[in-house]
Structure 1
Amino acid sequence: MPTTTQHTQRILITLRRLGTGGIEQSTLTLANAMAAEGHEVHVLVLKGQPERLPDPDVTVHCRDLEKQQRRSVIGMSWHVLSRLILKPLLPGSGFVWQGLRCSQAFEAFVTESEAQYGHFDLILIRGQGAFELLWKFRDPRAWRIAEAVTGRFHGRLASWLTRCLYQRHKVLCVSHGVQVELHGYLQKNGAHVDDSRVIHNAIPLQRLKQLAMQPRRPEIQGPYIVHVGRLVPVKNQTLLLHAYAKARQWGLSLPLVIIGDGSQRRALQTLTDQLGIDNTVHFLGELENPYPWMADAEAFVLSSRFEGLGLVLIEALALGTQCVATVAPGGIQEVLVDEQRRLLATPDVDSLAAKLCEAVDTPVTVRPEWAERFSTPHIVKAFIDLIPSSQSR
């Protein structure tokens, strides 16, 4: 049942795909939370069909703007011209030519939707793919949400391409770390945005706690350390395994449970054999509900080279689990505050191994307010506050 609010706002959230990744999860959490507070929320998916759906109160639209543009003679001619001539002539510029027409089509979608549903008070565009497709779309109600500094261009066209993607747009960063990195990149390329602010991603605290109460499958006896994440290079599980092997040499007895899948899984399993830790490292693959594992763990560990915010750390804290993590660009140090900071490691084997041992020997007592800062009511309010009072219906 939606919560009654003083002013109901109509919000459009746009992203390229609605799959199972972190951006998609954050989008669904935000859309569901806004709808639960009584706002009218629309989600536009620009590619394919959603793999997961939001709550029934959220309206989902699927509009493949790229494919739509190729259905007309003019659109197909433009596609062929840009693909065969302009893109090779100006390397890296493919999104510019594609985005010119897709931005027009998106503007038409907004006009068409407003004729049916009414005026949108806030338009959010999320993720690299959507940024590129809609780079030409400008509207005072529109904000881009940046999880990282997307569109790092190189070569003689770098400044022009950067300006195309960011110039005169308003950008919301998911952490102060991302905001600092973005401003540095824009300054280097002679570009600027009209406005940039920080709004963190939200977590549904009560929903997480309910999911965490379900039984763990498969069952592993005794205490353990857990890691959850895609098995890809940026998550740097190679460092984690080397550090865990070193911690075992120093007396750590707890097994390591790894939840997730990805391109590095086979290589990581081979590495556990080489390090002689294959009997104490358990690869469980991707689980629909990893939260019982996170809630019951002695510690959660993250070894990423970059985290826009570190949503999985917030989830672990929300479930009362202390976190060990490596210092990295992004938002990790905004999430792990106060006493949790003593379990931050430098990104090397010995430091991470030492922090794993420290977490077991002298654990941190997790405080509820560390996760409550990221609860959905706080984050929804921050988004609604973006709407000027003079614009509210």
Structure 2
Amino acid sequence: MKDQRRFLLVLRRMDVGGIEQATQTMAEALANAGHEVHVLVLKGTSQRQLASNVHVHHCDVDRTSRRRWGLLLHLADRLFLSPLIKGSGIVWRGKRCSAAFRNIVAQLEVEHGRFDMILMRGQGAFENLWAYNDPRTWRVVEAITGRFANTWRGRWLTRVLYQGKQVISVSHGVEQSLNEYLEERGVQLAAHEVIYNAVPIHKLQQLADHTVSAATTRPYLVHVGRLVPVKNQARLLRAFHLAIHQGLEHDLVIIGDGSERKALESLSQQLALENRVHFLGHQANPYPWVNQADALVLSSDFEGLGVVLIEALALGTPCIACDVPGGVSEVLIEEQRRLLCAPDDQALADAMLDATRYPLAVNPQWLSRFTEERVVQQLLEITA
């Protein structure tokens, strides 16, 4: 291939979360477009099966960095530096991990050739590799996690992570939040682009055709996401309870697992929703349930982009969501904005009733911004 390029995608772990899914989608999209793609996992083994045309490498960069002088820095950090300057562990760890990573990249390039672009995703990768300052490197920001207070220490740590870096935000909402956060702390980026996460639309449509057991005999709404505080499924349950008392005849299917599951199941019992709410836990393929739902509901307090919304739209399933910081309002456009509501129980209940009483037809053109082809082309443009 005449214009073939070589990419290295780096993340701390390859588990089942959104960052990992976005990384897999991007890696496979680039590989399917004819480029050479390598994924480097910095800790643990991959829990995902990537396509055969993607090269996957594993190296525990933290452990590797504790050799020779790195061990001395590690001990100095644990015994003196971090106790002296609280929260500074990322500085010293990042110095030694970045040095080890530089050697890892050099070895990969000896074996496979020079990389045209290095993409880092996730706070863990940012913190461990902040001192790796190669002009080919871009850091993909899904959300501003690990915010530091606007104190001298917080400003210093923010500079460590972001000063002079090249950043890709996954939505204009994330871009705005990051710019405001950095401006308050006097930090400047070298470059800042917005590129949405890609969604493998045709692959999702194929997965949605798989046969699964029915969650309920009633028509239903579906929620897919980790059961963690930021997703605020407690709001979802309270709103669903209100909607039932206002005439909603649908059930609610919740797909996902996480730290809040027991509390949410307890809340469901307190609201007497046991027969109307169905917790299915983590599902490797949630798309058949999304495909058969009358609408998907998202109750988050923040979404960097809201990929689950795009996935639902790809299956022709309309979406109900709270209008919160991040990229939700960039996904739900035109007629879909009718189902974008304030982040409170009654507003979400009203949106559920609206969606079921006046069904919305999904316009396939809403998805054009999130195709693999579009996102790959945007990446190629900034590597030129």
CA drift of 1:372 comes to: 2.9
| 1:281 counterpart (277, 280, 299) | 277
Q: Deviations over 1:124-152 (max 9, x none)?
A: 11110000111011111110000011331
> d(CA) in 1 for partners of 2:264 and 2:85?
39
1:386 is matched with which residue? Answer: 382
> d(CA) in 2 for partners of 1:172 and 1:228?
26
| 2:170 counterpart (166, 171, 174) | 174
Structure-to-structure mapping, 1:186-335, within 5 angstroms: 186-335=182-331
Unaligned runs of 5+ in 2: none
Q: Deviations over 1:349-379 (max 9, x none)?
A: 1111000000001111101111232111111
Aligned residues: 383
Q: Is the 8 A contact 1:151 1:162 kept in 2?
A: no
> d(CA) in 1 for partners of 2:375 and 2:187?
28
Q: Is the 8 A contact 1:79 1:98 kept in 2?
A: yes
| 1:143 counterpart (130, 133, 138) | 138
> d(CA) in 1 for partners of 2:215 and 2:266?
23
Q: Deviations over 1:305-352 (max 9, x none)?
A: 000000000000000000000011100000000000010110111111
Q: Identity of aligned pairs, percent?
A: 51
Amino acid at match of 1:157: R
Q: Deviations over 1:256-306 (max 9, x none)?
A: 111111111111111111112221111111111110000110110000000
Structure 1 length-normalised TM: 0.96
Partner-residue secondary structure (3-state), 1:284 = strand
Amino acid at match of 2:283: L
> d(CA) in 2 for partners of 1:288 and 1:199?
26
> d(CA) in 2 for partners of 1:249 and 1:213?
34
CA drift of 1:216 comes to: 2.2
Amino acid at match of 1:130: A
CA drift of 1:222 comes to: 3.1
CA drift of 1:386 comes to: 1.1
> d(CA) in 2 for partners of 1:92 and 1:168?
21
Amino acid at match of 2:144: V
1:340 is matched with which residue? Answer: 336
1:77 is matched with which residue? Answer: 72
1:391 is matched with which residue? Answer: none
Amino acid at match of 1:103: S
Q: Deviations over 1:211-265 (max 9, x none)?
A: 0001122442231111011111100001011100000110001111111111111
Q: Is the 8 A contact 2:65 2:99 kept in 1?
A: no
Amino acid at match of 1:346: A
Unaligned runs of 5+ in 1: 389-393
Two-structure CA RMSD over aligned residues (Å)? 1.0
Amino acid at match of 1:29: T
> d(CA) in 2 for partners of 1:338 and 1:224?
24
Q: Does residue 130 of structure 1 match 2:132?
A: no
Q: Is the 8 A contact 1:151 1:165 kept in 2?
A: no
> d(CA) in 1 for partners of 2:244 and 2:26?
40
Q: Is the 8 A contact 2:26 2:198 kept in 1?
A: yes
1:368 is matched with which residue? Answer: 364
Partner-residue secondary structure (3-state), 1:86 = helix
> d(CA) in 2 for partners of 1:192 and 1:151?
18
Which has the larger displacement, 13-22 or 209-218?
Answer: 209-218
Q: Is the 8 A contact 2:40 2:56 kept in 1?
A: yes
Q: Is the 8 A contact 2:12 2:43 kept in 1?
A: yes
Amino acid at match of 1:80: L
Q: Is the 8 A contact 1:227 1:302 kept in 2?
A: yes
Structure 2 length-normalised TM: 0.98
Q: Does residue 47 of structure 1 match 2:55?
A: no
Amino acid at match of 1:358: D
2:101 is matched with which residue? Answer: 106
